[in-house]
Amino acid sequence: MKVAVGIGCRKNCPSEAVESLVRQALDRAPDASLFGLFTVADKQGEAGLAEAARRLGLGLTYLSRDALRAREADIQTRSRHAEQALGIPSVAEAAALVGAGQGSVLIVPRITAGGVTCAIARASP
């Protein structure tokens, strides 16, 4: 099954924290065929995200706030921080859903550790 991983993080989050949480999330989706990491465009320039993507051998796609807002009805975990700071209901879950495309569904709702959030969405068959 093709999946997208959505990532959110605090400013200057270390790549090890990002990589570790992505691996934990992927352990919850053992049949996953990963096609990339996705986050909000505001995270461009976060070296930890870029380095984690490189270590995982994955592309990192930055998405607009509008694109993330468009999947608001499909998220399971609202983030007060994302709402206050960015005006969006979620970073990780919404980014995973947008990354996986239209008709996608969350298979790993947001998990969090070490200043990182992560979620996985399955693409529509």
Q: Is the pLDDT of residue 20 over 90?
A: yes
CB 88 within 8 A of CB 65: yes
Neighbours of 46 (CB within 10 A): 21
Write down all domains in the chain, each with its CATH number in brackets. 2-117 (3.30.420.180)
Q: Which two tokens stand for residue 15?
A: 């790549």
Amino acid at 62: Y
- Structure confidence by residue, pLDDT tens digits, 77-101: 999 989 898 999 999 999 999 999 9
pTM: 0.95
Contacts of 34 (CB under 8 A, 6+ apart): 2, 3, 4, 5, 26, 58
Give the number of C-alpha atoms closer than 13 A to the C-alpha of residue 19, restricted to the C-beta side.
14
46: three-class secondary structure by DSSP: coil
- Structure confidence by residue, pLDDT tens digits, 68-83: 999 999 999 999 989 8
68: three-class secondary structure by DSSP: helix
